[in-house]
Chains A and B, each alone.
Chain A
Amino acid sequence: MKRAVLVSAILLLCSASRAQESTAAQMSGGNSSALSPQEARMNALEDRVRTLAEEVAVLRGELKAVRDAKSAEPASDPRILLAAAHVEPGMLLANPSPIAASAPPEPAPGAPQMAQTQTYGGATSNAKLLNPDISLIGDFIGTAGHNEVSPSRSLELHESEIGMQAIIDPYARADAFISFGETGVSVEEAYVTFTSLPAGLLMKVGKMRADFGKVNTTHNHALPWIDRPLVTNNLVGGEDGIDDAGISLSRFIPAPKGWFMEGTAQVYRGDSDDVFTAYRRQDLGVVGHVRAYRDLSESTNLDLGVSYARGNSAGLITAPNPSAFFTNIYAGDATLRWKPLRRAIYKNLLLRTELFWSARDQLSPLNIFQTQHAFGMYASGEYRVNRRWTVGGRFDRSGRATNANLTDTGFSGILTYWPSEFSQIRGQYRFGHLALANPGDFSNANEFLFQFLFVMGAHGAHPF
C-alpha cells in the first residue's frame, strides 16, 4: 500500500510538471527563434518523465513480485484490458497518464494481471539494467570410426564458450568470449571496439581472431561443419588459428559503384599457436585483409577477400637466431550466397572456397635454412532444405606447413537439424586420405562425427 502511494505521488509530480510545461509552451511565441530553448526544456522534461516512468516500472516490478508471491494465478486474456483502456491518438504525448493506468493500484490477490499488458517500450528495459549480455554455448562432439593420423576422443564436451557483450560507453563496446575446453580455460577473444573514431576508422584492441579469411574469424559454434578444414590445421594454426593480442584498424575503401570494400590492418604480438611465435619483443606479427562485396541481386551476393599474415615461424626455439625465420601466409576467399528474401528462413545456399599459400622458413633435418612452400584449400557448400534441415559438403586438400611434400586430402558430408534457433544437432561423415611421415605412404580415415550445440542467454549476432 505504501508503495502504491509512492507511485501515485510520482505520477502526480509528473503530470504537474507536464502541465507547467504546456502552459509555458502556450505563453511563448510561435516564432522559430524561441523554439530552440523551448525545445531543449521540452526535452529535459521529457527525459525527466521518462526517468520517472522508469522508476514507476521498477516499483511496479516490485509490486508484481509481491503480488506474484501472493497469487499463483497467471495473467489472463489481455483483451479484457484493451477494450477498457483504449488509448486515443496523441494521448500519450499530451499526457503521461496512460503510464499511470499501467501501474497497478494495489496488490490484489487473485486479480488478473491486466495492467501488465499495457506499457511503453523503454520503460521496461531496465530489467537487465547494466549487466552485459551473457551467453553460454555448449559444444558436445562425439566421434566414431577410424583415424590413425589425428584421432580424437570418442565423446567430449569440446568447448563451453561464455560470451559477455556490452556497450562500454558512448564511444566503445566490448566483447569477450571465454572458452572452457577439455584441457583448460582460454580467452578466445576479448576486445574493445571503438565505434566513434574520426576518419571512419574502426579500432579493435585486445585479443581477437585475426581478420584472416573467413574460417579464421569464425567461432567453433558458428561453423557450418563440426570440425575445421584440414588446411586450417595444416597451415593456419589449428582450431584457434591466428588468435592473438593486438590492435586492429579497419576502414571502408572507396569502391566502384555497387561494390563495398573494406581494408583492415592488424598488429599482433606474434604468438599464435603453432604458426607464429614471438622470440623477442620486437617480433610482431601483422595481418592485412581487403574485402570486396557486391549484391548481384536482392537475393544473391558475392563476397571476396584477400589476406596476408606474417610473423616469426613457430617451433624454432632451438634455432640459433629464430627471429630471422618468418612465415608468410597469403589467402584468398570467395563466397556466393543465395537467399530469397520471401523464403529466407526456408531456403538458402552458400558456396565458399578459401585458398592458402604458406611460405615457412625453418631448419631442414640437416639444420640448413629452408623455406617450405605449401598450398591448401577447401571448398564447401551448404543448402537449407527447409526450416529445420541443412545439407552440406566439403572438399579438403592441403600440404603440411613444415613439409610441403606431404599432402592430405579429404571430403565430408554434413547434415544439420535445428529444433529451434537455440539448439543444433549435426552429423558429419568424414573421409581422409592422410599422408604419413614417409612420402608416398597414406592412411585412410573413415569417421562419423556428431555434435550437439545449445545456446543459453543472449548471444550477440555474428558479423555477416
Chain B
Amino acid sequence: MHRRCSFGERLTALFATLAFVTALVGPPGTRAANKIQIMTATTDLASLAQEVGGDKVDVESIARGYQDPHFVDAKPSFLLKLKRADLLIVVGLELEIGWLPPLITQSTNPKIQVGAPGYFDASRFAKILEIPTGQVTRAEGDVHPLGNPHYWLDPENGLRIAKGIADKLSQMRPDDAAYFAQRYADFELRLKQADQRWLAEMQPYEGRKIVTYHRSWPNFAEHFHLNVVGYVEPRPGIPPSPQHTVELIRQMKQENVKVIVVEPYFDLKTPNAIARETGGQVLVLPPSVGGEKEITDYFKLFDYDISKLKQAFDATH
C-alpha cells in the first residue's frame, strides 16, 4: 500500500489543484456594454442611483423592499454580483453590520472594500437624527450609536444622497460627468416639485400624532410634520411586551392617537390588539421602494405612503 507521500509531492499536488481552479476560471471577463455596475444595500439607494445614473449604470439592491434591512441573509449568491460591482452604496450607521461586512470581505473585489473608491456610504451625505447623547448601552435595545439609519425617508436626504452619487459617478466616469449632472438636475427639479405636492397633501394633517412599530420614521415625520409619540417595540429590536403595550394603549387613549404605522416585516398581532383597544387603525406602511409591487421608485414610495396615511387619518378623524 502506498502510504508515503513526501512534503514536496503534497505541495505540488496542492499547487496543481490551485492552478486547475485558476485555469478553469480564466482571465476576469470584461464588462459588456461598459456600464457602471452598482450594487446597493437597499432598494431606496438603488432607486436614487438609477435616477442619476440613467442608462450608464446597472443597479441592483441586495435587500428587498419588504425585508427588514437589519436582518438580511448574507447569501453567497450576492457574492457573484458584488464581485462584479464597480460601486457599492450602503446605508451605513451600522444598519447592515449584521450581514454586509462578510459579504464585502468574501467578494474578493478590491474596488468595493471599506474605504476603497467604490465604497460609498450614503449616510455621509444625509441629515441624521437621533444620534444618542451621553452613554450608549444596550439597555436601550439595539441602539444605533451613530444615529437613526432610516434617514432616506426624507426627500431632502434623498436629494443629498443623489447629489453624492452623481458626484461619485462623475468622478468614476469624467467623460459622462455632464450626463450625470444633467440627470441630477432633472431629478432635483422633479423631486422638488413632487415634494411641494407631498407637503401640500400632508399640510392638513400637520402635527398629527402617530405610533410606529420600530423607529423607522423620524426623518419622514420631521419632513412632513407628524408627531411620533410612541413605539410598539418597548426598545428598538426588542419584541413587544405586555407591560409596554398596556402603557402604550393608555398613552394613545389619553392623547387620542389613532394611527399605528407598521413596517411590512413586523407581526401584526400586537398592533391589531392595540388598534382594537384604542379604536385606532393599523397601517402597514412600506419604508422602502419595492415594499409593495406598485412602489417601483423613490417617488412612488412617498406617493404610496402619503396616500395611505391620508386615508388612515381621514378614516380615524
Contact = CB atoms under 8 A, between A and B. Distances in A.
Given A32-B175, A125-B146, A200 B28 contact: yes
B222 A173 contact: no
A6 interface: no
B242 to A, nearest CB: 13
Contacts of A199: 22, 25, 28
Nearest to B164: A93
Interface string B138-153: 1001100111000100
A118 B115 contact: no
Interface string B200-233: 0000000000000000001000100101000000
A420 B17 contact: no
B113 A121 contact: no
B97 A461 contact: yes
Contacts of B159: 89-90
Nearest to B26: A254
Contact of B77 (A122, A265, A293): A293
A195 B110 contact: yes
Interface string B113-129: 11110000101111111
B279 interface: no
B273 interface: no
Interface in B22-62: 22, 24-25, 28
A342 interface: yes
Contact of B22 (A251, A325, A388): A251
Interface stretch (A14-22, A139-147, A282-290, A441-449): A282-290
A193 B22 CA distance: 19
- Residue from A42, A92, A173, A295 with most neighbouring chain B CB atoms (10 Å): A92
A8 interface: no
Nearest to A173: B105
B105 A200 contact: no
B134 A260 contact: no
Interface in A247-303: 249, 251-254, 260, 262-263, 265, 267, 282-284, 286, 288, 291, 293-295, 298, 301, 303
Nearest to A457: B138
B177 interface: yes
Contact of B108 (A195, A303, A339, A343): A195
Give the 5 A-B residue pairs with the shortest CB-CB distance, closest first: A121-B123, A196-B110, A282-B7, A122-B124, A464-B74
Interface of B: 3-7, 10-11, 13-14, 17-18, 21-22, 24-25, 28, 64, 66-68, 71, 73-77, 79-80, 83, 92-93, 97-102, 104-106, 108, 110, 113-116, 121, 123-131, 133-134, 138, 141-142, 145-147, 151, 155-156, 159-160, 163-164, 167, 170-171, 174-175, 177-178, 188, 191-192, 195, 218, 222, 225, 227, 237-239, 264-265, 267
26 contacts: A35-B170, A35-B174, A39-B174, A50-B124, A118-B128, A120-B125, A171-B110, A195-B104, A199-B22, A199-B25, A199-B28, A202-B105, A253-B24, A254-B24, A254-B25, A260-B80, A265-B17, A286-B13, A293-B77, A324-B4, A342-B264, A345-B71, A386-B267, A388-B239, A420-B141, A463-B102
Given A253-B21, A284-B11, 7 more contacts: A88-B156, A116-B133, A195-B105, A286-B14, A303-B76, A464-B74, A464-B75
